[in-house]
Chains A and B, each alone.
Chain A
């Protein structure tokens, strides 16, 4: 017999729990089951068939989409960390305290451009007649416009722009919490600035990096808009395959299977980062 106290506790948790079960766990389960179903014409046949998965890994163009997604996501995650860390560092240790908040706010301000419009804006920047090419040609640096849009470079740039802001935020939040005297103590004890960073600050900021990197991974690998607008369909990512299956072929089972594969990749990323992750302590 549970204590009344416990029952009351359940009462508080129940609404959120039921919502999560009904609209997240159950749909996910049905989708997982659907990934083992097949299509007969337009008729959905439930059952346990590995056909969708053998297609995903057997047909080169589908497997390629998974590889492309993974390559882009890893590139974006690494580049974003490398670019964001120094920025967060400078804001914390170089910008005078009273300007820090403003500097951070500025660094993440474009976060609030509409997500769909952000990729579109990059198209305006990167296209043949766009800002970069026109400027470089005006300055006489190049004579022929560079091919920037409709490439993987464009997709990665669009992503990195967004995730640099996200990572600057998570790393900043982590850095400001570190007492400044840790680093000073290390230096006083004879460590070089690099050693102090490598052995004191970096390990202590791993939670910020890991949290940001994991969010980057999740959001990047599941994104449809950015590669669709900036990639020029020169290669397709997993989400693009999913949307084509939904939009043109109504092939829900194949789309579901691709989703499960992307999920599996996210789970791997989670395991890799779990040592440092603090998702419930954002």
Chain B
């Protein structure tokens, strides 16, 4: 009896975690105007509707572009900073690390508000670009932290060996450091990508006409409760899950074998 308690707890926890997702997906197949019980039998019309909606699809493309661009930039900047701090002796290393990590401790809304004030008053105004800038601000600390944490003595020895054999710093970076850190850099990239792709408040404040998917979904929400929202939500979920499972199988799964 007591042995069953953990399994019961686990089942309840999973039920709680999956309840909204199952509801979301189930009622995306709702044949009717309202995505609440009773379930009126499956239809794919909301998916057709969503896939045919040019605004949603261009928002989806925008989200991918901003996500990939900002994740790439975050990883590039984060990697360089991590390398600089891990391999060079700099005064105030602790302070610099703290400064680079600092945005992680600030709410997105506050980062967005600060950027909005600056871009409105002194900059080029809101745009997809501005949203991308904001996303680099929130993702850079993560990319930096992940890459910095994975810089160990192992790489340092390999780097030293390469240098002793006469390789320049650029060659060492390209041929030793980056390949050895590739799993961490990729992990950081995909984490940044998923965070940016799903980020709402900064994108909401910083975009104007071309918006990202979460912003478009938000205006969809504001114009009516509808299985359409379920359909686009389910699509986003399925794509992300496919991405995560692919990553798990092909990148992170490998190193443990």
Chain A residues with CB under 8 A of B148: 280
Instruction: Say yes or no for B84: interface residue by CB 8 A criterion.
Output: yes
Out of A17, A121, A127, name the residue touching B24 (CB < 8 Å).
Answer: A121
Give B109's nearest chain A residue, CB to CB: A222
A107 with B13: CB separation less than 8 A: yes
Once A17-B99, A31-B117 are accepted as A-B contacts, the answer to whether A117 and B236 lie under 8 Å apart by CB is: yes
Once A109-B241, A112-B244, A122-B20 are accepted as A-B contacts, the answer to whether A6 and B88 lie under 8 Å apart by CB is: yes
Instruction: Say yes or no for A1: interface residue by CB 8 A criterion.
Output: no
Complexed CA–CA distance, A159 and B130 (Å): 28
Whole-angstrom distance from the CB of B222 to the nearest CB of chain A? 10
What 0/1 readout, one digit per residue, does chain B (92-108) give for beta carbons within 8 Å of chain A?
Answer: 00001101111111111
A87 with B140: CB separation less than 8 A: no
Interface centre among A214, A219, A224 (most CB of B within 10 A): A224
Complexed CA–CA distance, A166 and B76 (Å): 26
B84 with A31: CB separation less than 8 A: no
Chain A residues with CB under 8 A of B149: 280-282
What 0/1 readout, one digit per residue, does chain A (14-51) give for beta carbons within 8 Å of chain B?
Answer: 01110110011111101100100000000000000000
Interface centre among B80, B194, B225 (most CB of A within 10 A): B80
B77 with A16: CB separation less than 8 A: yes
Once A6-B90, A161-B17 are accepted as A-B contacts, the answer to whether A87 and B233 lie under 8 Å apart by CB is: no
Stretch at the interface among A54-62, A174-182, A202-210, A258-266: A258-266
Q: Which residues of B contact A (CB under 8 A)?
A: 6-7, 9-10, 13-14, 16-21, 23-24, 27, 34-38, 76-78, 80-81, 83-85, 87-91, 96-97, 99-111, 113-118, 121, 133-134, 136-137, 140, 142, 144-146, 148-149, 169, 194, 198-201, 205, 213-214, 217-218, 221, 225, 229-230, 232-233, 236-237, 240-241, 244-245, 248
